[in-house]
Structure formats: C-alpha cells, structure tokens
Structure 1
Amino acid sequence: MPVQNDEAPSFIHAARREQLVRCAIELIAEVGLAQASTVRIAERAGVSRGVLTYHFRDRAELIEQVVRSVYDTGAAFLVPRMRAVTSPRDLLLTFIGGSVELYAAHPTEMAALTAVYAEGVSRAKHRRHTQERSDVEAALREGQERGEFRAFDVGVMYATIRGALDAALVHIAGGGSVEPYASELQTLFDLATTSVRGN
C-alpha cells in the first residue's frame, strides 16, 4: 500500500501557481497588461482557463502575485548583497549598483512590473514598494545619525534615488549596459549624500 503524502497536493498546487505566475510575467512583458487576458495566460501555460481560475479567484489576484513574484526576485538578488555590508553608505551604494544589475539580470520580470504599473496599478500604494522606501529612508537617517551623511530631506533624497533608478531601468530595457551607468549613479549619490570630511 503506498504511503500517503499529505504534502503532495499542496506542493502540486504551489508548483502550478508558480507556473501560471511565470507565464503571466512572460506574457505581460511581451504584450502589456491590457492584452494579457486570463485566456491568453492559460493558453501560454498549456492549461484551460478553468485551471487558472481554480488557482486564482480572479485576474486581479493573479496580477498581484505577478507583482509579488517580481519583488521576490529582486529581494533574492539584492538582500544577500546588502546584508554583507555594515555601513549606511555601503548599503546605499550596494542598493543603487545592485538595482541596476538586477534590471539587466532579470529583464522579463522588470518589463512585466513596468507594464503593470503603467496600466494604473499604483506603485506608491503597493506594500512591497512602500517597504523599499521605508528601508532606504531608514538607512539614510541612520547615515545622518552616524555622521556619514550630510543633512538633507530624506523623503526628497529617496524620491531622487528612485527616479534615477527608474531612468536606469529605461536605459537597460533599451539595450544599455550596466557600466558605467551603475558606477556613475553610485558616485553621484555618494557625493550627494556624504557629509563633508574634515569638518
């Protein structure tokens, strides 16, 4: 008599959901969010629309999972690098340089996320984006408290960094190279944030 594996159904369910999210990412990156219907996503995955609606209650839930998956990819790429540094300055430079490298390493995921946000999904209100903002602003404040960074408005500085990284994403998506783009951004924000030495 075969051994009953209670984990098998949930594992299969998770694997199928992951497959469907991956197909959605690829399709959205290719044709945009508006054209990525549940029917087309199911077709790409080689399943019926009923299978897709079994795993996701509606298209909105699937798109939410797409966004989460892309952020998870970014976290897996960036977090180990950021944990390897200790100072706020190095954390900031790692975040900036690593983000540009991320865009080049995962163009499909970045294209899908860009397409989702371009269709009216609010990045500013998404939990994962607000967490990024909170983490970067916390590092900026810590740098100021340690005397590594000069006095500046943390919110404005984060918005400027985010804007520069958005421009970097456009640059990479257009076929541009990581270098010297990444190192130039690192130098730019190092000069913009670092306190005047010797004072």
Structure 2
Amino acid sequence: MPGRTADEGASFIQAARRKQLVECAIEVIAEVGLARASTVRIARRAGVSRGVLTYHFRDRAELVEQVVQSVYDLGAEALALPMARAGDPRQALLAFIAGSIELYAAQPVAMAALTEIYADARAADGVSRARHRRHGREMSEMAAMLRAGQSQGLFRDFDVDVMCSTIRSALDGALAHILGGGRAEPYTTELQAIFDAATAAEVTR
C-alpha cells in the first residue's frame, strides 16, 4: 500500500492542527466567554504561539466560525442514525428531541461554547443564530419533517413556523438546564410527551 506523498502528509498535519485549535477555542470560549477568548489565550491553551494560530486562521472571526461549524457537525453526527432509523415523521420528531437532549448532555463544553458565541452576536466577530445558515438549515429540515407528518395525516393542522420555534425554544430550555448542572431526564421524556400531544392528528369521535 503506497504511503502518503509529502503534500498529503503536510495537508494531514495542517488539518490535525486546525482541528486542535478549534477544540481549544471551544474550551476557552466555554470557560471565559467569547469576549475574553483572545487568540493569545486560545494559542496558549493549544501550546503554540499566536503566530501558529494566525497561520491557520486569518483572524478570530474565521476561528469562531469554525467553532460554530464544528459544533453543528457534532449535532449532525449525533442525530444522523436515530433520524435515519425513524419510520415516520412522528418517530422522527421524537428522535430529534431525544437526540438533541442527549447531545447536550454528551457535549456540554461544545454546547456552552456555541451558546456563548450566540449570546455575544453583537461583537465584531460574534455570530447571529437567526442569520446563520446552519441554524436556518436545521429549522428548514424540522419544518419539512412537520409538513411531511401533516401530509401523511400523522400531525394535526398547525402553523409549522410557530411549532418549529416552540420546539426550538423548548430545547433551548433543556440546554440551559443541562449546562446549569441538571440531568437530561425528565426533560427528554416530558418534551417528547408534550410535542407528541401538541402535534398529534385530531381523533374524530
């Protein structure tokens, strides 16, 4: 089996270094907030000079964006299998709720970093969740799932945008609870029950 070429080896090393720097940025932002997470502090956490960091990321804004992407990637990976196994939109909704809360419990540092970034959206390199494409994609996919459930007769007729916002707000509450040291239960069970009832097709008597 042929080994890596010099260029491939260099690319691999650079990718590994970028990943390390993003992970260190996540840790620092989660600990001290976005405003205090300077490139110097992040580089120090990674055990490198600030010049190494700025070699891989042109500025802090690019690094912050990579943090956001990395956390959403964790979410996509965590939810991929349970969502794929869901047999219909109703099961997909329950899997989305459970999988999201399990992610929060499994990745509290990453979720805390994302929360800090979104909380400081007005900073020069802050990020607005409402305008970020990954958040928009998540909401669009949730809306498509709910509309599919309505078209299949599994969900009642409700305003999809309102329901999406309500589910997102409830999950935000679960995240705040977990980041505050709370347990995932009873949030998973209760939110599944609440939204299963809230979306259920009306039964004619």
TM range (shorter): over 0.9
- Map 1:54-69; keep pairs closer than 5 Å: 54-69=55-70
Q: Does 1:18 align with 2:14?
A: no
Size of the aligned set, in residue pairs, is: 198
1:197 Cα shift? Answer: 3.1
1:80 Cα shift? Answer: 1.1
Of 157, 161, 186, the residue aligned with 1:180 is: 186
Query: What are the ranges of 5 or more consecutive residues in structure 2 without an aligned counterpart?
Result: 122-126
Of 130, 146, 165, the residue aligned with 1:140 is: 146
In the alignment, the residues of structure 1 paired with residue 26 and residue 196 of structure 2 have an alpha-carbon distance, to the nearest angstrom, of: 34
TM-score by length of 2: 0.94
Letter in 1 for 2:87: T
Q: Does 1:119 align with 2:120?
A: yes
Matching residue of 1:74 = 75
- Map 1:1-199; keep pairs closer than 5 Å: 4-120=5-121, 121-198=127-204
In the alignment, the residues of structure 2 paired with residue 68 and residue 46 of structure 1 have an alpha-carbon distance, to the nearest angstrom, of: 23
Letter in 2 for 1:9: A
Query: What are the ranges of 5 or more consecutive residues in structure 1 without an aligned counterpart?
Result: none
1:198 Cα shift? Answer: 4.7
Moved more, 79-88 or 14-23: 79-88
Letter in 2 for 1:59: R
Q: Could you give the per-residue CA deviations for residues 82-101 of structure 1, whole angstroms, max 9, x where no partner exists?
A: 01112000000100111111
Letter in 2 for 1:86: G
1:4 Cα shift? Answer: 4.1
SS of 1:161's equivalent?
helix
Letter in 2 for 1:153: D
**Structure 2 CA distance for partners of 1:180 and 1:64, relative to 1, 3 Å:** same
